[in-house]
Amino acid sequence: MTAVVAHRGDSSVHRENTLEAIRSAIAAGAETIEIDVRLTGDGEVVLLHDATLQRLWGVDAHVANLTLAEVERLGGGELRIPLLRDVLHLMHDAKPLLLIDMDSPEPAVAAHRVVATCGSEARVAWCGHIDAMRTIRRRDAAAEIWMPWAESTAPSALDLAELRPTFVNLPHVYVGRELVAAVHSLGVKVSCWTVDDAEQMAWLMSIGVDSITSNRLALLLCLRNNDAAATVQMLPRARLISRELATWAVEYVRKHHVTSVATKANPADHVTEIDLAIERVVRSVIGAQFPDHCFVGEEFGGEAQADRPCWYLDPVDGTANLANGMPWTSFSLALVVNGAPVVGVVADPWRGVVVEAEAGGGAWSDGIRLCLDKPDAEALSAPTFGPAPDPLSGAMVSTELAAHAAWPGMLPMLDALSQRYCTMRIMGSGTLTVAGIALGHGIGAVIGRFGPVDHLAAVLIVREAGGVVLDENGDETLFPASGGVLAAANRQTAEQLHALWREAVAR
C-alpha cells in the first residue's frame, strides 16, 4: 500500500511547518510528516521552507539574518515558527516518520546534532539537497536517506552506492512505470512529490509508487484507503502534466540566457540551446507519464499515428525573437486524439502567463475561466436601424510572417484592413498571436500557414474560450489539413475577417 506523506504537516488545514499542522497530520493518519528546516542567524534550527519570511509572515527579511528571539516574535502558540527540537519532542511517542527536508547543505550539521542530542525517540529520515544528504551520511551510517533524483530514467547501483538510500525521491512528473520497476529492482523504494491532483495520485498508486507527498492530506488518504487507483482518466492527467511542464518552461526560459544560436533551413530559422533543452525534458516527462502516446516536436521531429494519441510541442515559438533579445516567445503543448486537440497549454515566459484548455472543459488562466464577450439575448432581440457597426473598425488584427517573409495575400490584407481603420500587428510568435485572442489581445488573428506544433494548443484555447476558429475554406476545424487558420473573438468578426482574407489571397 502506498504510504502517505503530509507535506509540511497538514498544510491545507493549518499554517505549514507549525506544531498545529504536525499535530493535525498525526491525528489524520499520515505515515510520514515532511518538514523543512533552516538556520537562524544565531545558528538555531527552525521549521521554515522559504529563505525569507515574506510569503507566510509578510516580513521582508531572510531568516539567516535574524536571531531566534526575533523569529519567535512572529505568531504564537502552536502557530509560531517552531524549533526542530520542539517537533522532535512532539513526535516522541508518535507513529509517523519525521522526514527532514533541506534545500541547501547549510542546516545539515546543526540539524543532525539536534536530532542526535535532543533525547527524543521520534523516527527520523532525511531528504533534500544532495550535498546535505552526503553530510548526513558521513555523520550517521545508519541514517535513513531519501535520495533526490530528477530524471525519468532510474539511477544505477553506482549512483546509489554513496548514500545507500531507502527511497529515491522524485518530482512526480518524472515517475513512470518503467522507472518504478527499475528502482525496485535495485532494492530501493520510490517516493514522489508534490502531488495535489486526484487523478495523478491515483495513477501513481496504480504503478506501484511506494510513497506520495501531498498538501492535500485528507484527499490522498481517502483515495489510498478506497483504492481509487483502479480507475484513472487520461485527460485530467494530461492537462495537469501539460500545466506543470508549461510552468517549468516559464521558469527555465526566464533563468537561462541564450549562449549559442544555430540556424536550420536558412539564416532566419533559429534554434538555441534553450529550445533543445526544453524539448528534451518535455519528451522525457511525456514518455514517462504516457508511454503509449506518440510525440511530434519542433526540434527533434516525430511521427503521428492515427490510432494513438499524439503530443505536439514547440518548446520556444518565436525563437528569432529569443535569439535577438526580443522578450516575446511562447511554449506550446497539445494532445491530439482522433485527429483533434483535446488538451492544450500555451505559456508566455516573459509575463508569467499560462493558459490551458481541455475539450469541453473551457479555457483557463491562473484559475480564471476565459469567456470571450457575446451579445446577450436582449441586445440580439433589440431592433436596429441603419447599417450594422463594422466589427473591424478601430480594432486590431494580428498575423505572423511565413518564416521570415510575408505569406501570399498578407500585404493586400494589410491594405484592406487599413481601409477599414483596423490595425495589423506582427509580433513574432504565432502561438501567442492565436492564443492571445482568448485573452482579449485583439479581435482576430490570421495565420497564413497552419503548423500543428505552433497552433494546435492555441486554437483549442480560443474555441474553448468561446471564440471562432476557421480554416481557409471557412470551415470550423481545429486541425486544418492544409493552408492557414483564422481565430476571432466572435462569429461576426470571423466571417468578415475570413472574407477579407480570401479576397487578399485571390489578389
Given this model, what pLDDT does residue 383 score?
52
Residues present in the chain in total: 507
Given this model, what pLDDT does residue 79 score?
85
- Whole-angstrom distance, CA of residue 21 vs CA of residue 502: 63
Given this model, what pLDDT does residue 18 score?
96
Q: Which three cell numbers stand for residue 224?
A: 489510498
> Within 13 Å of residue 451, how many CA atoms lie on the same side as its CB?
21
Spatial neighbors of 272 by CB under 8 A, at least 6 apart, are 258, 260, 261, 262, 316, 319, 322, 323
Given this model, what pLDDT does residue 257 score?
87
Residues in the chain with pLDDT values less than 70: 228-231, 268, 373-388
Judge residue 389's burial from the number of C-beta atoms within 10 Å of its C-beta, 0-12 exposed, 13-18 middle, 19 or more buried. Answer: exposed
Phi, psi torsion values for 416, nearest 5 degrees: -65, -40
Strand partners, 296: 312
Helices (H), 82-152: 84-90, 108-117, 130-139
Given this model, what pLDDT does residue 261 score?
83
Given this model, what pLDDT does residue 3 score?
97
Angle between the N-to-C axes of helices 410-419 and 491-506, in degrees from 0 to 180, rounded to the nearest 10: 130
* Helix (H) / strand (E) containing 44: none
- 438 three-class SS: helix
Judge residue 194's burial from the number of C-beta atoms within 10 Å of its C-beta, 0-12 exposed, 13-18 middle, 19 or more buried. Answer: middle
Cα of first residue to Cα of last residue in the chain, in angstroms, is: 68
- Whole-angstrom distance, CA of residue 392 vs CA of residue 496: 8
Q: How many CB atoms lie within 10 A of CB 465?
A: 24
Given this model, what pLDDT does residue 7 score?
98
Given this model, what pLDDT does residue 85 score?
97
Answer whether 87's CB lies under 8 Å from 105's CB. no
Could you tell me what percentage of the chain is helix, strand and coil, using 3-state DSSP and rounding each to the nearest 5? Answer: 35, 25, 40
Strand partners, 90: none
Phi, psi torsion values for 476, nearest 5 degrees: -80, 115
Given this model, what pLDDT does residue 228 score?
64
Given this model, what pLDDT does residue 395 score?
96
Distances in Å between the alpha carbon of 173 and those of 11, 147, 213, 281? 21, 17, 13, 10
Given this model, what pLDDT does residue 387 score?
58
Phi-psi group of 281: left, alpha or beta (phi > 0 → left; psi -120 to 50 → alpha; rest → beta):
alpha
* Helix (H) / strand (E) containing 445: strand 444-447
* Helix (H) / strand (E) containing 296: strand 294-297
Given this model, what pLDDT does residue 231 score?
66
Residues 89-111 as b/e (b if ≥16 CB within 10 A, e otherwise) read ebbeebebbbbbbbbebbbbebb
Answer whether 99's CB lies under 8 Å from 125's CB. yes
The distance from CA 93 to its chain's CA centroid, rounded to whole angstroms, is: 39
Q: Structure pTM?
A: 0.91
